[in-house]
Amino acid sequence: MPAASIKKSRILTGIQPSGDMQLGNYLGAVKHWVMNQDVQTNFIPVVDLHSITVKQDPRELYRQTVSLVAMLIACGIDPDKSTLFIQSHVSAHAVLAWVLNCTTPVGWLERMIQYKEKAQNQERVSTGLLTYPVLMAADILIYDADEVPVGEDQKQHVELTRDIAERFNNIYGETFVLPEAVVPKVGARVMGLDNPLIKMSKSYAHVRGHAISMLDDSKEIERSIKRSVTDSYNEIRFSNEKERAGVNNLLGIYQVITGKTVDEVENDFNDARGYGDLKSRVSDVVISEIEPIKKRYHELINNSDELGRLIQKGDAAAKQYADPKLDIVLEKVGLHRNDNTGG
């Protein structure tokens, strides 16, 4: 096939600015976005509207949002190749979410695993927490994305997005592309270092030794990995057994960073003397991956003019696509923004 006729897939994927980016976000998602940005058309919003579904410190939220933009660029997202922008700056996302709220049955949302988990820990659950996946659907559908690269935990939300799109198409006629979730084969679920049975998450960032933040210093990373939960088998190999989840997780982290196969990874540890060696080698690869990212991040974050310029550029590029798509949707529903009836 001549190169000119190969259609680039269009991807949309988001990340929340609540707290610093952690290693799970990077290995399960961001690293893959970076690797594929030459062969795909990428739309990457920092989803600040999603973050306010749980309480945020208003003085901190915008700082964290800009910090995350800097971190994504430091990780390798190139603003010349990917449209990197702030979700709330493109108001079409929120308007489309409202329209889709009106065609999405509540029962679909109540079934979402993440909603059930998050609702459990709250005294009073906001409507926003319930309709969170509808906003996520709007993020995806407004760019006609055909692929959504995410970690395992977001797969159910992308499947729901397909259902939401299909229902709208059935009611109002063909409007939305049905997107597919793309979950990496390795690293899709980086687990907590303190408890390898739950995924590494920013929500537990306050628990010491749970997560590695992309801004942790080398000593902290070394300490967290050294303290990580393992088992008493003293055998360094991949395993699906629950009791061996800790070692499996450390090997998985090592595998995504080195890009090696399962056999190659296990061979690397043939000469290791116990879990002490495993932990120090995993620390070494994590630190050498994160150090240059941290250095770039600190350079960028001190250049707020440049960051502001890049954000404006991303916002404008996103609006150029999202606004006309919203017009199409609104017209289908009977809401005409570009009213010509005045003559």
Q: Which residues are at the interface with ligand TYM (CB under 6 A)?
A: 12-16, 24-25, 28-29, 47, 50, 136, 139-140, 148, 150-151, 153-154, 188-190, 199-201
Question: Least separation, in Å, of the C-beta of 102 and ligand TYM?
Answer: 19
Closest to 36 measured CA to CA, from 4, 6, 77, 69: 77
* d(C-alpha 219, C-alpha 215), whole Å: 12
Q: Residues 240, 218, 71, 292: is their CA dihedral positive or negative?
A: negative
* Shortest Å, Cβ 18 to ligand TYM: 8
Active site residue ranges: 118, 199, 202
Q: Shortest Cβ distance from residue 234 to ligand TYM (Å)?
A: 26
Backbone angles phi, psi at 93, to 5 degrees: -60, -45
- Residue of minimal Cβ distance to ligand TYM: 28
User: How far, in Å, CA of 66 to CA of 157, rounded?
Assistant: 25
Residue 273 CB, shortest distance to ligand TYM, in Å, is 29
Toward ligand TYM, which CB reaches closer, 68 or 311? Answer: 68
- Select 113 or 335, whichever has its Cβ closest to ligand TYM: 113
**What is the closest distance, in whole angstroms, from the C-beta atom of residue 162 to ligand TYM in the complex?**
12
Nearer to ligand TYM, 95 or 200 (CB): 200
When the beta carbons of 272 and 325 are compared against ligand TYM, the nearer one is: 325
Instruction: Tell me how far apart the alpha carbons of residues 75 and 79 are, in angstroms, rounded to a whole number.
Output: 12
* Inter-residue contact 171 to 126 (CB < 8 Å): no
Cα atoms found within 13 Å of the Cα of residue 43, Cβ hemisphere only: 28
* Environment class of 336 (CB within 10 Å of its CB; exposed 0-12, middle 13-18, buried 19+): exposed
Q: Which is nearer to ligand TYM, 28 or 79 (CB)?
A: 28
Q: What angle do CA 263, 281, 227 make, to 5 degrees?
A: 115
DSSP for 254-291 reads: HHHHHT--HHHHHHHTTT--HHHHHHHHHHHHHHHHHH
The helix (run of H) or strand (run of E) holding residue 11 is strand 9-12
Residue 105 beta carbon to ligand TYM: minimum distance, rounded to whole angstroms: 20
Q: Which amino acid is present at 327?
A: D
CB-side neighbour CA atoms (13 Å) of 29: 23
3-state secondary structure 65-84: HHHHHHHHHHHCCCCCCEEE
